[in-house]
A and B are shown apart, each in its own frame.
Chain A
Amino acid sequence: MSLLKLGELYKAVILEHAQQLHHHGQLPDVPGLTLNNPTCGDVIKVQLDIQDDQIQQIAFSGTGCTISQASASVMTDVLAKQSPAQAKTLIHDFSQLVMGDEIDATAKTQLGDAAVLGAVAEFPTRIRCAMLAWHAADQLLDELGGDPK
């Protein structure tokens, strides 16, 4: 088998995140949103604490594959301390990236470790895994958007 090819998807950064998840756990009294992946039954909950137009705290919990867990982990690094509007843009950029669309260099830089997940575009059956946490964050941002702060 070509383990080389497997290494293209599971780059070191991704494996490191999967082994040492960032912002993993539950935040008490912080709004959250749970999404599941109906093909495997995996569940991810994302929580966002937004104050003063900024994501002050972010966390995720649940179970999933290496891709969905690592993707959630890098996402928490990327979205922490962003404004909800910036977060929406970053989520959109990430979505473009894993769908195989070109994004500009600035956007790629802003995505940091998450940009490595662009390799998922070569593995179409795993795009859903990579997007799960980001979809949850996106929907949660929409839900929280109307709340007076």
Chain B
Amino acid sequence: MAMTNYRADFPILNTRINGEPLTYLDSAATSQKPQAVIDALVAYYQHDNANVHRGVYTLAAQATDQYEAVRDQVTAFINAPQRETVFFTRSTTESLNWVAQTYGEQFIGPQDEIVLTVMEHHSNLVPWQQLAIRKHAKLRYIGLTSDGQLDMDAAKRLITAKTKLVAVAETSNVLGVTNPIKALAALAHQNGAIIVVDGAQAVAHHPVDVQALDADFYAFSGHKMLAPTGIGVLYGKLDLLEQLTPAEFGGEMIDNVTQQTTTFAAIPQRFEAGTPNISGVIGLGAAITYLQQVGWSTIEAQEAQLTERLLNGLLKMDGVTVYGPHDLALHGPVVAFNLNGVHPHDVATGLDMAGVEVRAGHHCAQPLMAYLQTSATVRASVMFYNTPAEIDRLLTALAEVKEFFQS
């Protein structure tokens, strides 16, 4: 299938790095931003900037309307049942910490079990680990099958009546696999537990339906889906949110304050204390609009084609170890690999000389690195705006780096 080239929409992709054209293959860390998103930020500050939910003047109403319109957009984007179930945070990390500090603080007790997977990003691991330490709860980890998928037999053994909470990434930021969230949610619910889903690596790559997934909480960031940094989302089921005490207090989240008492605003304002990241929300709205204009069928088809070229190219090369499944059908647009005998930092520096920007390190997943018996890997990740020629540039540069270090 011929690919549509979206590069012109992303001004940064015209820059040169080390004298070479920028080949950006680190969208799993953060995506690039289309002009439409950049324009929305500029337009907001040029025409509509005012604080939200406060002023009675026209400008404040404009800002508030735009801000709340994005809540509706996000609600539809993830098919949340009510707009009140969607609130804005700083990031996926803040969303997940929020669940740990509210739901976790209120409902997890001594000897309760929290089930995680070994592929979790630190942001969906450390908050639960620290909660478990505070509450004397226990952590259980679901491992992987030999081909790098989540071991669902182990999940069935580990999720039991003792389990209070299951926390899992929808898509791994290292292995590229998408986990069977529906099946995990069913296991959790059969055992009276809730499921918290880290959607950071999923939302920009395929349609997400939080009701179909039956997720109790679903967290994601704007910056991995073409929006600015500093804006995140948390979705929670309404009956759960209504039971939770706010983690932060201050402006915007109150109903009435006296010297000694406060009543809180309704959900979702209750959970958005202080002036929010208004421009970030506006940017997120523009990003969703842009993604919908490109369309899921194009996004998924282009990313599958790019991933195939990347995965097959790496698998064909001698002396390359590819982590995660080798079966394309199981693979999202993230591929972690190592050049045998060459440290990933050296590989990444070599690729950088060719303008090819990839991540090298532990990808905020040190327990997974330990599980895979390595300290670090190289990681290339693609988005629909990449081109087959860019994948080829990576593969060519990688062959040269290999030659340089192994000759």
Contacts and interface: CB of A to CB of B under 8 A. Distances in A.
Interface of A: 1-3, 5-7, 9-10, 15, 39-43, 63-67, 123, 125-126, 129
B376 A6 contact: no
B346 A67 contact: yes
Given A1-B397, A2-B353, A123-B349, A10 B404 contact: yes
Contact of A125 (B349, B350, B375): B349
A126 B345 contact: yes
A34 to B, nearest CB: 14
Residue among B20, B361, B366, B369 having the largest count of chain A Cβ atoms under 10 Å = B361
Contact of A66 (B354, B375, B405): B405
B361 A65 contact: no
B375 A6 contact: no
B396 to A, nearest CB: 8
Given A2-B18, A6-B349, A40-B361, 11 more contacts: A1-B396, A2-B354, A3-B404, A15-B405, A40-B375, A41-B369, A42-B343, A42-B375, A42-B376, A67-B345, A125-B349
Nearest to B355: A1
Interface string B120-142: 00000000000000000000000
B345 A5 contact: no
A129 B361 CA distance: 12
Contacts, number: 64
B400 A3 contact: yes
Contact of A41 (B362, B396, B400): B362
A120 to B, nearest CB: 10
A123 B400 CA distance: 19
11 contacts: A1-B397, A1-B400, A2-B19, A3-B353, A6-B401, A15-B405, A40-B375, A41-B362, A126-B345, A126-B349, A129-B345
A43 B350 CA distance: 22
A109 B346 CA distance: 27
A9 B344 CA distance: 16
A129 B362 CA distance: 15
Nearest to B348: A125
Closest 8 CB pairs of A and B: A65-B343, A1-B354, A65-B345, A41-B362, A41-B375, A40-B361, A40-B376, A66-B346
